[in-house]
A and B are shown apart, each in its own frame.
Chain A
Amino acid sequence: MTTVATVSEETGSPYALSHLDALESEAVHIFREVAGEFERPVILFSGGKDSIVMLHLALKAFRPASVPFSLLHVDTGHNFPEVLDYRDRTVDKHGLRLHVASVQDYIDRGVLKERPDGTRNPLQTLPLTEKIQAEKFDAVFGGGRRDEEKARAKERVFSLRDEFSQWDPRRQRPELWNLYNGRHAPGEHVRVFPLSNWTELDVWQYIAREGIELPEIYYAHEREVFARSGMWLTAGEWGGPKDGETVEKRLVRYRTVGDMSCTGAVDSEADTIEKVIVEIAASRLTERGATRADDKMSEAAMEDRKREGYF
């Protein structure tokens, strides 16, 4: 825990916050604004590192009281078991309430159809939006960061969604100073992104500084994988390996954790947080470019999915 101010060389002023402290303070401010202005906020929690950092910040924001939000996980049915286990342990540990929206359930009921490529990420939108409607959530925290992708660079911290959860880039409100406008009509909700101004490296540095525990798959481990579209995918019942794809044992880690069908691992020997950070800092590939098949679909893929209500 740092409570020591960074003394900047230029001014000698003890009042400059370090970049992590500044980002942390901003995120906490966002959580508290939502707690003060909304009736039923919920945090999207996948057990991935960004949602873990979000929850950590929310816990800090209301200490010593408990977090006044519940959690929501959109379960694709193709999640890594290590991540689901982490999710459940975290929920228990902090005495939180977890809502689950299940893609598998929608497929079983025939409402959604499995895609030919087996990818379920695009199928998350409907279960998510219907759960938001059913539970009447009025603020939904997402771990999205503006540095992730070009369409996200223009996303607001408070992002208004209509009753169909649609995002209209022309309806977004200007955000001035730190005066967030959360007003919305009944049935509409606001997506809130407390990590808007964080980069991947900031998130990792913060995890290291705060000593936050992550699912093991973020660190180098031996795993049976096969190659597809230039990524190492985990073998499993979700649809791999197919004919002509061979499974091999490799030392890998995950940079992002999503659906098993579209989240690739990278070759890595980084088995500690420090080694992971050094690897990321030295990496010349963006987080999504290297390991997410779903963003490669087309240059406008993310923009289209955001309009439909995706994270």
Chain B
Amino acid sequence: MSTITTEELAETTLLRFATAGSVDDGKSTLVGRLLHDSKSVLTDQLEAVERVSASRGQEAPDLALLTDGLRAEREQGITIDVAYRYFATPRRRFILADTPGHVQYTRNMVTGASTAELTVILVDARNGVVEQTRRHAAIAALLRVPHVVLAVNKMDLVGYEEKVFAAIAEEFTAYATELGVPEVTAIPISALVGDNVVDPSSHMDWYGGPTVLEHLETVPVSHDLSHCHARLPVQYVIRPQGPDHPDYRGYAGQIAAGSFRVGESVTVLPSGRASKISGIDLLGEPVDVAWTTQSVTLLLEDDIDISRGDLIVPSKDAPATTQDIEATVCHVADAPLTVGHRVLLKHGTRTVKAIVKDIPSRLTLDDLSLHPHPGQLVANDIGRVKIRTAEPLPVDSYADSRRTGSFILIDPNDGQTLTAGMVGESFAAPEPVKDESEDDGWDF
């Protein structure tokens, strides 16, 4: 046990990332290895794993057991939902959305990727890029995950051959780039043996890059905000009812994108009224500037009518409001989404009535082919929808802003979350899809 100094306990940064891959690719073993080799597995957890492994007659502790959650899964030996894992190194804290890679669990991968800054896609070095790999790449591209890692696993089973790795890395990178993925980092690993997961491999001298963990520790977690549209969805209006603050009216929310500064001219949507920022409270501390994803309270110079659901934006950079939204969606509920479906749409802090006007196409992730007018989307389907909302909404394109370009559809009857939506074009790249129909609304 190494001794830990308080210096090492200082504040670090936080990276949220997701994994995609199937049981057969060794994903649970990779996650178990990350937790184990980064010393994030504690003695009693490891003892439990050793106990169960031994009772099943396995020789070595099965690291995949570290990430098994619910009883149904333990019995079936599969993972059926998104599980969140936590580990830390002196350099960074990690939140891992661990999602199953099986075909029918697209919705879980979409869920995990929605909050991820990075996705690790796992392939088996013996099989290379398969249909499922292409699906995973497409989901990372659709969800605009900024960083993608291709972990080529089971290198020990292909003799640690550089050319096997290079061919897979090249094929995958070409495909992902075509989809508009901005950055791919390929790493040859063996999760079982421990090569290049946490510790550098002694079997692959030809590889000069970082291990998976080194890459996770150093990938940038913040962006240059100077090109972002600043957005603050108002969650709650703070009005103290006391003699100390007779005139305080603060608009509380988490900055969804960009930054705000005291003195800046802002516009409130959908009303369009304008004012200036007279103060910013950062959880009780006055500050001059605040940025995404800080939770703040804005104070304005003018007393205008603002309530939950409004969006505060810079006057010089206000989005248009619209009642007609076209988006790429992933349907996440068991019951289908149909044309004419009456739903609730939650965008930022605003929930409005809406109706599904049209479902122009369904997208097959395996080969990116389009199927025109499917009539409905079933669970795990990805498709294009046109939605009419009861009130105008200030939506951004998802490509510009993951938080103000996304929405969910909710069933008004039972409250189920039906669909996850991303406003605007599906992929960053100009023409990744094979349109099987006449042009019907795809605007590439």
A-to-B contact residues, CB < 8 Å? 1-3, 6, 8, 10-11, 13, 15-26, 28-29, 32-33, 35-36, 60-66, 146-147, 150-151, 153-154, 160, 169, 172-179, 181, 183-185, 196-197, 199, 201-202, 205, 209, 274, 277-278, 281-286, 289-290, 299-300, 303
* Option from A8, A24, A33, A160 in Cβ contact (under 8 Å) with B221: A8
For A17, the chain B residues whose CB sits under 8 A away are 13-14, 222, 293-294
Decide if A15 touches B259 in the complex (CB within 8 Å). yes
Decide if B415 touches A183 in the complex (CB within 8 Å). yes
State the Cβ distance, A182 to closest chain B Cβ, in Å: 8
Decide if B239 touches A65 in the complex (CB within 8 Å). yes
With contacts A151-B69, A176-B408, A303-B71 known, what are 5 further pairs, Cβ within 8 A?
Answer: A8-B13, A176-B114, A199-B93, A283-B42, A285-B42
Decide if A178 touches B12 in the complex (CB within 8 Å). no
- A63 CA to B244 CA in the complex, in Å? 12
Decide if A284 touches B43 in the complex (CB within 8 Å). yes
Decide if A176 touches B406 in the complex (CB within 8 Å). yes
18 contacts between A and B (CB under 8 A): A8-B220, A8-B221, A15-B259, A15-B291, A16-B221, A60-B283, A61-B252, A63-B297, A64-B238, A66-B240, A150-B69, A151-B70, A176-B420, A177-B406, A185-B414, A201-B9, A281-B9, A286-B44
Question: Could you mark each residue 85-107 of chain B with 1 if its beta carbon is under 8 Å from any beta carbon of chain A, else 0?
Answer: 11010001101000000000001
Decide if A184 touches B415 in the complex (CB within 8 Å). yes
Decide if B239 touches A146 in the complex (CB within 8 Å). no
Q: Which bracket fits the contact residues of B? A: 35 or more
For A196, the chain B residues whose CB sits under 8 A away are 84
For B202, the chain A residues whose CB sits under 8 A away are none
Decide if A285 touches B44 in the complex (CB within 8 Å). yes
CB of B314 within 8 Å of the partner chain: no
For A23, the chain B residues whose CB sits under 8 A away are 14
CB of B224 within 8 Å of the partner chain: yes
State the main secondary structure of chain A at its contact with B: mixed
* Option from B70, B220, B252 in Cβ contact (under 8 Å) with A154: B70
Decide if B84 touches A153 in the complex (CB within 8 Å). yes
State the Cβ distance, A306 to closest chain B Cβ, in Å: 10
- A196 CA to B285 CA in the complex, in Å? 25
For A173, the chain B residues whose CB sits under 8 A away are 416-417
Decide if B252 touches A18 in the complex (CB within 8 Å). no
- A146 CA to B69 CA in the complex, in Å? 11
CB of B201 within 8 Å of the partner chain: no
Decide if B408 touches A300 in the complex (CB within 8 Å). no
- A137 CA to B81 CA in the complex, in Å? 29
CB of B174 within 8 Å of the partner chain: no
Decide if B45 touches A278 in the complex (CB within 8 Å). no
- Known A18-B12, A177-B114, A282-B1: A199·B415 in contact at CB below 8 Å: no
CB-nearest residue of chain B to A147 = B86
Question: Which 9 pairs of residues, A with B, have the shortest CB-CB distance?
Answer: A183-B415, A289-B44, A16-B222, A18-B11, A19-B14, A28-B295, A65-B240, A32-B235, A63-B284
CB of B76 within 8 Å of the partner chain: no
CB-nearest residue of chain A to B91 = A9
- Known A11-B220, A13-B224, A286-B45: A181·B283 in contact at CB below 8 Å: no
- A8 CA to B14 CA in the complex, in Å? 11
CB-nearest residue of chain A to B259 = A15
* Option from A25, A289, A299 in Cβ contact (under 8 Å) with B42: A289
* Option from A24, A36, A154 in Cβ contact (under 8 Å) with B69: A154
Residues from 1 to 53 in B contacting A, C-beta threshold 8 Å: 1, 3-6, 8-9, 11-14, 42-45, 48
- Known A10-B218, A61-B252, A277-B9: A181·B417 in contact at CB below 8 Å: yes
Decide if B9 touches A28 in the complex (CB within 8 Å). no
- A209 CA to B110 CA in the complex, in Å? 35
- A289 CA to B150 CA in the complex, in Å? 35
Decide if A284 touches B222 in the complex (CB within 8 Å). no
Question: Could you mark each residue 330-363 of chain B with 1 if its beta carbon is under 8 Å from any beta carbon of chain A, else 0?
Answer: 0010000000000010101100000000000000
Decide if B115 touches A25 in the complex (CB within 8 Å). no
For A174, the chain B residues whose CB sits under 8 A away are 82, 107-108, 110-111, 332, 417, 420
Decide if B238 touches A175 in the complex (CB within 8 Å). no
* Option from B70, B83, B283, B402 in Cβ contact (under 8 Å) with A28: B283
- A154 CA to B112 CA in the complex, in Å? 12
Decide if B6 touches A150 in the complex (CB within 8 Å). no
For B107, the chain A residues whose CB sits under 8 A away are 174
CB of B407 within 8 Å of the partner chain: yes
- A8 CA to B294 CA in the complex, in Å? 17
- Known A32-B235, A64-B248, A176-B114: A282·B3 in contact at CB below 8 Å: yes
* Option from B13, B42, B245, B292 in Cβ contact (under 8 Å) with A286: B42
Decide if A181 touches B408 in the complex (CB within 8 Å). yes
- Known A176-B406, A197-B84: A277·B6 in contact at CB below 8 Å: yes
Decide if A20 touches B11 in the complex (CB within 8 Å). yes
State the Cβ distance, A149 to closest chain B Cβ, in Å: 9
CB-nearest residue of chain B to A201 = B88
State the Cβ distance, B403 to closest chain A Cβ, in Å: 6
Decide if A179 touches B236 in the complex (CB within 8 Å). no
For B348, the chain A residues whose CB sits under 8 A away are 179
- Known A17-B293, A24-B283, A176-B110: A29·B254 in contact at CB below 8 Å: yes
CB of B282 within 8 Å of the partner chain: yes
State the Cβ distance, A63 to closest chain B Cβ, in Å: 4
State the Cβ distance, B12 to closest chain A Cβ, in Å: 5
For A2, the chain B residues whose CB sits under 8 A away are 11
For A153, the chain B residues whose CB sits under 8 A away are 69, 83-85
- A160 CA to B411 CA in the complex, in Å? 15
- A285 CA to B48 CA in the complex, in Å? 12
Decide if B4 touches A282 in the complex (CB within 8 Å). yes
For A284, the chain B residues whose CB sits under 8 A away are 1, 42-43
- A8 CA to B15 CA in the complex, in Å? 12
Residues from 262 to 300 in B contacting A, C-beta threshold 8 Å: 281-285, 287, 291-295, 297
- A154 CA to B83 CA in the complex, in Å? 5
Which of A35, A36, A209 has the most chain B CB atoms inside 10 A of its CB? A36
Decide if A197 touches B6 in the complex (CB within 8 Å). no
Decide if B238 touches A62 in the complex (CB within 8 Å). yes
- Known A29-B295, A63-B281, A178-B115: A19·B13 in contact at CB below 8 Å: yes
For A179, the chain B residues whose CB sits under 8 A away are 346, 348, 406-408
CB of B424 within 8 Å of the partner chain: no
